[in-house]
Amino acid sequence: MKKILFVVMAVVAIGFTACGNKTQQGEAVDSAAIVDSLAGEAAQGIIDQLNTQIEAGDTSLLMKTLNAAKEKIAELLKSNPEVAKGYVAKVQTYLKDNAEKVKAVAGDNAAVTAAVSALTETDPETIVNGILQTVGQVATDAKEAAEGAAAAQAGTIKDAAQQQVDAVKGAAQQQVDAAKQAAAAAQDAAKKQAEDAKAAAKKSASDAVDNAAAAAKSKLGL
């Protein structure tokens, strides 16, 4: 009985494992299909534009569309790098399949030729990684520039504050010097006034003595 129960449990466990593996495989397939669908959707718009411009032989618009294709890669990278890779692969396939037509429209236009080469001569993963590195470098440069600007601004603010402090100190020192000069002038004026008063008092006393002597002489008939 125990052996039968063990066998039944083993069969059930194997069944669950098999179902789990199928589910995981199904999810992986669904995920790949979704990525391919999104990449195809994104690429179709550019491919339609390229078709129109190749048929019209419009080199300038062809160049604009190739640049738009590069910008689209950067845009897709923000949401899903795998979709970006799929997008690049589909655009590459189109450009390679229509290489002669593209070459006929591009003619001796070096910019168009370089843009096509940039999109076709490297595998999608390398292109995507290159853009990621560029974006990362730009972000780093922007951060460093912002930090430098902030440091410079902080230095400017510090210098301005120090100048204000120095100006206040200078104004205070001027006031102190002016007060000292005023006090010295007042002291000199008071000293002179005292000396003048002393001299006047001395003269007054001398005059009084002289007057008294003259009066005495006058009484004596001298």
Residue by residue, pLDDT tens for the chain (222 residues) are 544 444 434 443 444 444 455 445 555 457 788 888 888 888 898 899 998 988 888 898 889 989 998 898 988 898 888 999 999 999 999 999 998 989 898 888 999 889 888 888 888 788 888 776 665 544 465 467 557 655 666 666 677 678 887 887 887 788 878 778 877 777 888 788 878 778 787 888 778 777 777 777 777 776
What's the pLDDT at 131?
77
3-state DSSP assignment of residue 38: helix
pLDDT of residue 23: 46
Summarize pLDDT for 161-200 with one digit per residue, the tens: 788 878 878 877 888 787 788 777 778 887 888 787 787 8
pTM beyond 0.85, yes or no: no
CA angle 202, 207, 212 (to 5 degrees): 130
Q: How many residues does the chain have?
A: 222
Q: Give the DSSP H or E segment for 108.
A: none
Domain ranges of the chain: 2-137, 153-222
Structure tokens of 202?
């001395």
59 contacts 112 by C-beta, under 8 angstroms: yes
Residue whose token pair is 């504050």: 161
How far apart are the C-alpha atoms of 152 and 146, rounded to whole Å? Answer: 10
User: Burial, 101: exposed, middle or buried (Cβ in 10 Å; 0-12, 13-18, 19+)?
Assistant: middle
109, containing H or E segment: none
Cβ-based neighbours of 191, under 8 Å, separated by 6 or more: none
End-to-end CA distance of the chain: 174
Give me the half-sphere count of Cα atoms (radius 13 Å) on the Cβ side of residue 159: 6
